[in-house]
Amino acid sequence: MGRSSRACSLLGSAQLLLLLLLSLGSAAAQKGSTWKTLSGKAPVIVAKGGFSGLFPDSSDFAYRILGTISSPDTVMWCDVRLTKDGDGICLPSINMDNCTMIDNVFPEGKKTYNVNGVSTVGWFSVDYTSTDLLPNVTLKQSVLSRTPVYDGSMLINSVENVFTSFNASAVWLNVQQDSFYSQFKLSMRNYILSLSKQFITDYISSPEVNFLTSISGRVSKKTKLVFRFLDEGSIEPSTNQTYGSMLKNLTFVKTFASGILVPKSYIWPVTPDNYLLPYTSVVDDAHKAGLEIYAADFANDFTISYNYSFDPLAEYLSFIGNSAFSVDGVLTDFPITPSEAVGCFSNLNNSKIDHAKPLVISHNGASGDYPDCTDQAYEKAVADGADVIDCPVQVTKDGILICMSSVDLMDVTTVGKSSFTSQVTTINDLKAGPGVFTFNLTWDDISKNLQPMISNPMSTYKLYRNPRNKNAGNFMRLSDFLTFAKGKDLSGIMITVEHAAFMAEKLGFGVVDAVVKALDDSGYSKQTAQNVMIQSTNSSVLKKFKQETKYSLVYMIEEGVRDAAPSSLADIKKFANAVSVSTTSVLPQTHYYLTNQTNKLVTSLQSAGLQVYVYVLMNEFASQPNDFFADATSQINAYVQGAKVDGIITDFPGTAHRYKLNSCTSMGNSAPLFMQPPQPGSLLLTMAPDVQPPAAAPMPLLTDADVAEPALPPVSNTTTAASPSHAALRMRTDVSILIALLMLCASLLI
């Protein structure tokens, strides 16, 4: 019986699109590179069940996205299970209910079996023939946190189909629970030996010594046998030893295997709170024993050590590109990222500073690693290679400008746990709901009594940033920021000014004049080494800066827009040199998928002579459309190579700086396909029509009416009920005037 018509229809439509998707095979190693692998060759990338990070493990799509682009470095992985009639199928779990829709086809099929000493309830392949399963049972995503849109659309693959249907350049068969199948008079050994007469299998792995010894010398000499280590405390059934103890006797493993596959934690262990410990000697030990070593458990959308700043590429590089060792291969659900690591990002000189485009502009410093706008966030941003560091200015009760990402201290400090909660007030001009605002407290109140609080924009997804340093660092005044930035290897600084009209009318404070004075006092108005950029969502603010200074001016467009009308471009050109736009204005998305809508905003702005910066990029996979495959580097590449933006504003400047150094950028049209941006909308079309998300409404056009604003109001001299701190600010000004008059009178008397 053939495959279901639904699966065939979906596959047929998608095949034309797969070439538009990213290739997931690795590029060849960089010429002249010396790899610290056992063979000296580039590490192997093993795609677990194909691209199982997005598509159901071992599905047609998961394999075909690899097979469409034949790559000598990418290996297709299949977890082999046996059917009742002794045929092999590829499934990631022995319990079929975890990875298929079998309960819909055989609702009465639930059984309880002993699997390696564990009583296991579910549906098992040993109860069904291949004829029962292959034409009827569809796959589903086995990781519940991943998208279910492909569930039920693709059928189970036979092992033979992996060899014949997907243009596989190399195949890795993983065999587990051999003793389980023997209970049903099925022989995994006999199946593998029979298969080996038809196909050359590049790798066969198993966590069972007896199975590997039983096929050793009986399969092709080209087949590598790999002993798979499970958790250190688990018992290997053949020897009755723990895998942890067997790791100390690799000379024994060498007698029946040419390599070992270990959880990545064997190599880079982590603390209970998920920070890296020093790496172990296991890679060196394996190589000394003449064994290749492969690391498992890589997935871009799983929790990784906080040391990697939510950047999966950084994790891969620590296993293949560090100065001490390199594993011989990695087993991953997301083959694109190790492909980048091997092909474009190994052996980079991360200390190299390059201030060419795209500009890397920090967002509240390196706020992905430290609390916003603290000294540590700025120090990290500079160390990570940011081209521009930023300071969003707010004003305190005593009229001091500070760098603070929110005017509401409740958002970014521990004020909610302090005695200053009595200052809570509601100011609808600034935000909905109550807050404790920077102008409610003096600089001493803030700097001496409060702690910064790290931002966690993805906390809804249980993704929290650097908890050990969630309150680290010191607050910075604008004057402190300017002093810090001077002399650093930066192309410039960016000062963001918001709420200027409110400050003038309600607080009696002229923020534009105060910023200009601070820049004058720090010498920035008399230097050209660092470009001074002023950013605002208010055209009135930028117009006033243009009247008073020669600084570069950046207009931030808050709303999502598809393009800018010629009249609005003409208006912006009158007061700005650059424009900041949201990620979705550049690449529209719906329900975490890029759409096929073509926004011309970047092209229009650049044609008008305006630089374009995109904001805000984050490393957390939950912040990115699925088209970027939970890979921050892929996202950056889409905006730089695809949309051609001039700069990126990011919480993680280190990731963006490293992107600028990659060796594939200079390759032009010869760059590997995995470093080409995705085609917007192509991933949507791999879904059946009934599960596609609803189409997003077209974004509006930016018009001159959106840009035009009245001039900033004059600084008010009257107290208003809207600002409980206004009187204090005016008192400070009145005292200054009184002192000046007294000094004048004294001089006249003398």
302 in the same domain as 340: yes
Q: How far apart are the first and last CA of the chain?
A: 111
Q: Does residue 427 sit within a domain?
A: no
pLDDT band at residue 68 using 50, 70 and 90 as cut-offs: low
Q: What average pLDDT does the segment 656-671 reach? A: 88
pLDDT for 58 equals: 98
For residue 257, what pLDDT is reported? 98
Q: Which amino acid is at 482?
A: L
Final residue before a domain boundary, out of 297, 317, 346: 346
Q: Residue 728's pLDDT is what?
A: 41
State whether 585 and 477 are in the same domain: yes
Task: Indicate if the pLDDT at residue 2 is higher than 70.
Answer: no
Residue 327 domain flag: yes
| 241 and 366 within one domain | no
Instruction: Judge if 282 and 376 occupy the same domain.
Output: no
Looking at residue 469, its amino acid is N
- Mean per-residue pLDDT, 581-596: 94
Asked if 159 and 195 touch (Cβ cutoff 8 Å), the reply is: yes
Whether 490 and 622 share a structural domain: yes
pTM: 0.91
CATH number, domain of 113, equals 3.20.20.190
Residue 275: count of CB within 10 angstroms of its CB: 13
Q: Which two tokens stand for residue 315?
A: 């994790």
Looking at the domain assignment, is residue 628 inside a domain? yes
The per-residue pLDDT for range 367-382, each reduced to its tens digit, is 999 999 999 999 999 9
Environment class of residue 185 by beta-carbon count within 10 Å: exposed (0-12), middle (13-18) or buried (19+)? exposed
In a domain, 13, yes or no: no
Burial 138-148 (b: 16+ CB within 10 A, else e): bbbbbbeebbe
For 487, other C-beta atoms within 10 Å of its C-beta total 9
127/186 same-domain check = yes
**DSSP string spanning 505-565?**
III---HHHHHHHHHHHTTGGG--SSEEEEEES-HHHHHHHHHH---EEEEE--S--SEE-
Other CB atoms within 10 A of residue 467 CB: 13
Quote the percentage of the chain above a pLDDT of 90: 82
pLDDT at 71 (0 to 100): 53
User: Is 607 part of any domain?
Assistant: yes
Residue finishing a domain among 701, 718, 742: 701
In this predicted structure, the answer to whether residue 670 has a pLDDT above a threshold of 90 is: no
The pLDDT of residue 321 is 85
- Rg of the Cα atoms in the chain: 30
The token pair at 131 is: 């004829």
Asked, for residue 716, whether it belongs to a domain, the answer is no
pLDDT in tens, 71-83: 547 899 999 999 9
pLDDT of 295 > 70? The answer is yes
User: Do 372 and 287 fall into the same domain?
Assistant: no
Question: What mean pLDDT value characterizes the chain?
Answer: 90
Contact 562, 586 (CB under 8 A): no
**Which residues constitute the domain of residue 253?**
44-346
The whole-number average pLDDT for the span 493-500 is 98
Model pLDDT, residue 67: 52
Judge contact between 100 and 93, C-beta under 8 A. Answer: no
Q: For 538-581, what is each residue's pLDDT tens digit?
A: 999 999 999 999 999 999 999 999 999 999 999 999 999 999 99
| Whether residue 154 sits in one domain with residue 295 | yes
User: What's the whole-number mean pLDDT along residues 522-531?
Assistant: 94
> Is 35 part of a structural domain of the chain?
no
Identify the CA nearest to 131 among candidates 95, 99, 105. 105
Place of tokens 């109550």: 434
pLDDT band at 742 (very low <50, low <70, confident <90, very high): very low
Q: How far apart are CA 733 and CA 713, in angstroms?
A: 19
588 shares a domain with 542: yes
Same domain membership, residue 103 and residue 151:
yes
pLDDT over 50 at 396, yes or no: yes
What are the tens digits of pLDDT across the range 621-644?
Answer: 999 999 999 999 999 999 999 999
Q: How confident is the model at residue 351 (pLDDT cuts 50, 70, 90)?
A: low
* Cβ neighbours for 525, distance < 8 A, ≥ 6 positions apart: 516, 519, 549
Note the pLDDT of residue 352.
Answer: 67
- Shared domain for 661 and 608, answered yes or no, is yes
Summarize the confidence of residues 691-710 as an average pLDDT.
92
Q: What is the pLDDT of residues 607-625, one digit of tens each?
A: 999 999 999 999 999 999 9
Percent of the chain with pLDDT over 70: 90
Number of H helices, E strands in the chain: 27, 30
Same structural domain, 257 and 375 = no
pLDDT for position 17: 36
- Render pLDDT for 467-482 as a digit per residue (tens, 0 to 9): 999 999 999 999 999 9
Report CA 430 to chain centroid distance, whole Å.
31
Q: How confident is the model at residue 696 (pLDDT cuts 50, 70, 90)?
A: confident
Q: Looking only at Cα atoms, what is the longest distance across the chain? A: 115
Q: Which of 64-78, 133-147, 278-292, 573-587 has the lowest mean pLDDT?
A: 64-78
User: Count of domains in the chain?
Assistant: 2
Distance CA 82, CA 509 (A): 76
Point out the domain boundary residue: 308, 325, 346: 346
What pLDDT is recorded for position 109?
Answer: 96
pLDDT of residue 14: 40
Other C-beta atoms closer than 10 Å to the C-beta of 523 total 11
Token output for 419? 């005695």
Query: How many whole angstroms separate alpha carbon 230 and alpha carbon 210?
Result: 15
User: Is residue 220 situated within a structural domain?
Assistant: yes
